[in-house]
Amino acid sequence: MAATIKDIARETGLGLATISSYLNGGNVREKNRIKIREAIEKLDYKINETARGLKTDRTNTIGVIIPELRSTFCAKILSIAEDLLQQRGYAMLITDCRTDKDREKAAVDFLMVKRVDVLLNMPVDETGQHLSPFLEADKPVILLDREIPGISCDMVSVDNYEALYQAAGILTAKGHRRIAMVAGPETNYAARQRRRGFLDACAAAGIAEKDFRIADGRDTIEGGAEAVRTLIRNDPDLTGLVAANNDMTIGMMIGLNEMGIPIPDRISVVGFDNRHFARACRPRLTIVDQPETELAKEMVRLLVKRLTEGNDGVKEKVRLSVHIEGGDSVRDLRG
């Protein structure tokens, strides 16, 4: 059996409260500090967070629900956040709901039972109904990448409107007048923002409604590939394509490859996310680059704030800018 504070108390001849005080950074006489430190060393004592959690009603654990652990966007952010949080003693219970509302709901209940202190969620159910157990228990919720209007919580995302506005702008600036967007589903808030960005960029460039297209790529690889096939088949004179998330970018490349369409000679493309993938593509892809590191840092800042300061006070909405990482996948059509 592992050593407990009782063992430390016996070993040092001190009371439990003193040991506990030492463990929690309280005032302990210097010579007792030393005795305790030595006893901990000797007995290889490790604090029992389960017992502490029962007493304090805190687990120092963050519950995470994301749509896909396999998305590089999620994986990168979580991996950065995990590092930062572990340094502070917080653990992450990660749950992957496979972009399924029912699973997301089940995950919320699961994490409630696991007594996590905060919920970090990249929401699938955009009504936010699944969040009610946390909201009712007044446990903090932090939304990642997607807003849900009317829910009292912090949120951190990129500026999705701007992202697609810029991406489409890359094409129009090079003289493209017949362009299409491979978009996420309209049920998704971020995807809607991105659609708006695309539309406004087209409008700003004076492209008529009949000259641009938006196809639903369902935010997935397969959906992206299908959308591209349909787009090209229906509109052979499209000259530019922009994908609105990473999976659809991969799908777009698969679709174009399988149709044998030369990039950028026949079609110019702008992708989303994942610098490594962009560099591995032939030709190298021009992409919208999301600031994952900054997103993760902001997210951790909010997480730690809620963990230490509680759920009171004004909720923050943090929106970060993207930038375009240039490649060779956009042809200049001017002149």
Partner DNA sequence: TTGAAAGCGCTAACAT
Partner DNA sequence: ATGTTAGCGCTTTCAA
Q: Where along the sequence are the contacts to a copy of itself (CB under 8 A)? A: 2, 46-51, 53-54, 59, 61, 68-70, 72, 75-76, 78-79, 82-83, 86, 89, 91-96, 98, 106-107, 109-110, 112-115, 137, 221, 250, 253-254, 257-258, 276-277, 279-284
**Contacted entry of DNA, a copy of itself, none for residue 94, CB cut-off 5 to 8 Å set by kind:** a copy of itself
**Residue 137 touches DNA, criterion: CB under 7 A:** no
Q: Are the C-beta atoms of residues 218 and 185 closer than 8 Å to each other? A: yes
- 47: number of Cβ within 10 Å: 14
Considering only 25, 44, 55, 149, the residue that binds DNA (CB under 7 A) is 55
Considering only 48, 79, 293, 321, the residue that binds DNA (CB under 7 A) is 48
**Residue 111 touches DNA, criterion: CB under 7 A:** no
Q: x/- string (CB under 7 A) for DNA, residues 8-37?
A: -----xxxxxxxxx-xx-xxxx--x-----
Least distance to DNA, CB of residue 309, Å: 15
Q: How far apart are CA 112 and CA 119, in angstroms?
A: 9
What the block records as the tokens of 174 is: 């090079």
Binding segment for DNA (CB under 7 A), chosen from 52-60, 79-87, 273-281, 322-330, is 52-60
**Contacted entry of a copy of itself, DNA, none for residue 152, CB cut-off 5 to 8 Å set by kind:** none
Q: How far apart are CA 181 and CA 166, in angstroms?
A: 13
Selection from 37, 53, 51 nearest residue 4 by Cα: 51
Binding segment for DNA (CB under 7 A), chosen from 49-57, 132-140, 191-199, 291-299, is 49-57
17 vs 280 by CB, closer to DNA: 17
**Residue 311 touches DNA, criterion: CB under 7 A:** no
Amino acid at 178: R
Residues near 154 by Cβ (< 8 Å), separated by ≥ 6?
140, 141, 142, 143, 302, 306, 315, 316, 317, 318
- Looking up tokens 């079609």 gives 267
107 vs 181 by CB, closer to a copy of itself: 107
139 vs 194 by CB, closer to DNA: 139
Least distance to DNA, CB of residue 37, Å: 13
Least distance to DNA, CB of residue 44, Å: 12
**Contacted entry of a copy of itself, DNA, none for residue 138, CB cut-off 5 to 8 Å set by kind:** none
Residue 26 sits at the vertex; the CA angle it makes with 20 and 29, to the nearest 5 degrees, is 95
Binding segment for DNA (CB under 7 A), chosen from 54-62, 172-180, 199-207, 286-294, is 54-62
Least distance to DNA, CB of residue 54, Å: 4
Selection from 195, 202, 201 nearest residue 166 by Cα: 201
Q: How far apart are CA 27 and CA 222, in angstroms?
A: 60
1 vs 314 by CB, closer to DNA: 1
**Contacted entry of a copy of itself, DNA, none for residue 82, CB cut-off 5 to 8 Å set by kind:** a copy of itself
**Contacted entry of a copy of itself, DNA, none for residue 23, CB cut-off 5 to 8 Å set by kind:** DNA
Least distance to a copy of itself, CB of residue 39, Å: 17
Q: How far apart are CA 31 and CA 37, in angstroms?
A: 10
Amino acid at 247: D
The contact set with DNA (CB under 7 A) reads 1-2, 4-6, 13-21, 23-24, 26-29, 32, 45, 47-48, 51-52, 54-57
